[in-house]
Structure 1
């Protein structure tokens, strides 16, 4: 879980996502724009939702077709989004995103804001470079490319502490009532409020935040 702090905090905006969620990847430019214009009284807390648990099993063909169809739908909905479909022939897909989630946490454990850099590296590797973030070897390579301490990263990636952090994130996502990604939840004096997100218009989101 990562926090972006503002000077006077009277409310919290939760952003719940998964590093290997294709719609989260498509949302990245708008989310960056939203963050740059948020009201100062808001604290932002990012939460790893955990799209798919650990498995060594290949992704079933039906699921592969479904995910590829999602990519095609995203291209129609958010035309600027780039996908490298070579992934489906060059990699062995697995329905497993928890390793990528732990990689974000392990990067942040080393260095402030390294988690967000790891997130972007994972998304670029997966969607643009046809590399598989379900594989530990890919995540270790990304850590090296980000100039992190690779030995520490490899250890942290498998550590009970990082696993515990992931479980805390998953529990919080459940408490917020989130089952799809990306999701935005505003917690203020009125309680929890779901913010409708747009993939094309930052103002449509900002107007709901006051």
Structure 2
């Protein structure tokens, strides 16, 4: 089966910068190709981070460059939120939310993942809070109770770890967009590339 595979992390600024292109690619090809999203677990376990003044300074310098390159806006609420030194940055939580939606309503996994990124990078929401995801579920008309039950289940926690392992088999760099065709894997994008360039590659392949 031919498909596109998007390896990303919800706490990766460049992945958020790439989100507009991801949405456009999904809308263009969702009825033609399978489109699988794989959160990669960039900051998990011993690698979780805590927001700090040093991190905030780095982000304030780095993320406007992402915005300039990609055209994707970072919100004022986000830049305010990075000053909160109590927030833990753990990729497992938002990744698990995405994996839960993949299980419940696979067709909404990409839109949901993009909304998760917007929640942090545009609206300054804490991705450790259930309410952040419940708001997204409401916007996308997804069953909130069903989501919560699945999100906190042991099965989904295990499935999330398996997803991280699968993502690592493809790449250790995010964002990465790949295509699979007839048993072969092709790298279409690693980092950020203009939308037109990616579409040309996809059209050439398929």
**TM bucket normalised to smaller:** 0.7 to 0.9
Aligned residues: 200
- CA–CA separation in structure 1 for the residues paired with 2:26 and 2:145: 33
Task: Give the number of the structure whose residues are more often helix, by fraction.
Answer: 2
- Look up the SS of the partner of 1:154 in the other structure: helix
Residue 155 of structure 1, CA deviation: 2.7
Q: Is 2:57 the counterpart of 1:65?
A: yes
Query: Is 1:30–1:199's contact at 8 Å kept on the other side of the alignment?
Result: no
Instruction: Flag the 1:57–1:180 CA change in 2: closer, same or farther, 3 A.
Output: closer
- CA–CA separation in structure 1 for the residues paired with 2:179 and 2:105: 27
Residue 52 of structure 1, CA deviation: 1.2
- Look up the SS of the partner of 2:126 in the other structure: coil
Q: Which of 38, 44, 54 lines up with 1:53 in the alignment?
A: 44
**Further displaced range: 78-87 or 18-27:** 78-87
Partner of 1:3: none
**Further displaced range: 150-159 or 39-48:** 39-48
Q: Which of 92, 115, 129 lines up with 1:135 in the alignment?
A: 129
- CA–CA separation in structure 1 for the residues paired with 2:81 and 2:53: 14
Map 1:139-158; keep pairs closer than 5 Å: 139-144=133-138, 146-158=140-152
Residue 201 of structure 1, CA deviation: 2.7
Q: Which of 174, 181, 193 lines up with 2:174 in the alignment?
A: 181
Residue 181 of structure 1, CA deviation: 1.3
Q: Which of 114, 118, 125 lines up with 2:112 in the alignment?
A: 118
What's the TM-score once normalised by structure 1's chain length? 0.77
- CA–CA separation in structure 2 for the residues paired with 1:133 and 1:39: 27
